Amino acid sequence: MINIFKLSKDSIMKKVENAGFPAYRGKQLIDWIYNKSVFDVESMTNLDKEFKEYLINNIKFVTLETLKIIEDDKSETIKFLLLLGDRNTIEMVIMRYKDKDSSKNRNTLCLSSQVGCKVKCPFCATGTDGLVRNLKAEEIVQQVTIANSFLKKYDTKINNVVFMGMGEPFFNKDEVLKAASLIKENYEISSRKITISTSGVIEGIKELADKELKYVLAVSLHAPTDRIRDFLVPINKKYPLNELIKACRYYQTKTKKRITFEYIMINGMNIWPDDARQLANLLKGIDCHINGIPVNSVSDSEFERPKKKDIYSFKKMCEKYGLSFSIREEKGTDIEGACGQLKNKERK
């Protein structure tokens, strides 16, 4: 049996026709899955008995089970704990950004690419148990369908995808790029609405550049010096800042695309005036935007969230040096929305 979520729409059509069914059956199947977000064969009411039997015997549909869903009071952040076929668990988060003009509404899915993570950034709950395994492309893609199925009650769908959930996407590069391609085609989400975030894996950044893939690149920077970044992002010892920034410049030369740098803001650690100056020097000449993220409080963490005045003071200092800087709109702090928090809580 083949998992349908590893197939493109064209591949689904060919498989159905090769099995001896008319082309319209493939179109009906695609409509149920990608337009109606229905993946129970018996609920696909316009399919005949023979085609349903073929699907049941030859096609594997969703292999992820939803264990738990938690929503904030405004239903703007919805967090899912998902069970994989091997009994491991992952998380994904829907973030709904509502606008007075409904055409500008955004539904962003933060999805996972690994079970656990070997980067082990000390402020992140995901890496506490290290890496268990990579997700397959179809396990990544299924997260979008599960999200769309949930959003049907709001008569809306996912229109932005960010690989910022559990795991380092470029340590599962082949499956992540395969999943991104399937998401782009099957869910009709453009490349500029798909973001791949990395903690600084240079090979992945260069491959994105060389293949001229138009996805948005986000780099978890978090510090302007190797001394601090070695601690906050341990793979910095393998991919130091000078090499990472060189790769980012290479990416920009090849793609002409702006880069987003994620910057976790930690009280007393990386938001001093000298940090702003060093950050500006580090990124000089790169077309980029800094996404400032006040640190989430993780159980037993040594990291403190800065005071609001200190957060905005650092933003102003960065802007004074010519950097484009915004504070990420926070969602999910009241439901432990940060990566790995729900998984760890449920396990305990």
Please report, for the domain that includes residue 110, its CATH number: 3.20.20.70
How many helices (H) and strands (E) would you count in the chain? 11, 14
62-65 own/partner pairs: CB under 8 Å, 24+ apart: 62/5, 62/142, 62/145, 62/146, 63/3, 63/138, 63/139, 63/142, 64/139, 64/142, 64/143, 64/146
What pLDDT does residue 90 have? Answer: 97
Give the residue-averaged pLDDT of 5-13.
Answer: 96
Note whether 206 and 227 are same-domain residues. yes
Whether residues 51 and 80 share a domain: the answer is no
Query: Does the pLDDT of residue 146 top 60, yes or no?
Result: yes
Total domains present in the chain = 2
Residue 156 has pLDDT above 80, yes or no: yes
Catalytic residue among 53, 91, 138, 207: 91
Give pLDDT tens digits for 223-268. Answer: 999 999 999 999 999 999 999 999 999 999 999 999 999 999 999 9
Q: Are residues 173 and 25 in the same domain?
A: no
Active site (annotated) includes residue 339: yes
Residues 6 or more apart in contact with residue 78 via CB below 8 angstroms: 69, 70, 71, 72, 93, 94, 96, 150
What pLDDT score does 311 carry?
96
Task: Count CB-CB contacts under 10 A for residue 192.
Answer: 11
Model confidence at 281, pLDDT cuts 50, 70, 90, reads: very high
Residue 79 confidence (pLDDT):
97
pLDDT of residue 129: 78
Q: What is the rounded distance in angstroms from the CA atom of residue 29 to the CA atom of residue 19?
A: 14
Q: State whether 183 and 298 are in the same domain.
A: yes
Which position among 248, 288, 318, 339 bears the catalytic label?
A: 339
Range of the domain at 51: 2-60
Distance CA 342, CA 72 (A): 14
pLDDT > 90? residue 128: no
Give the Cα separation of 239 and 60 in Å (integer): 40
Residue 67 has pLDDT above 60, yes or no: yes
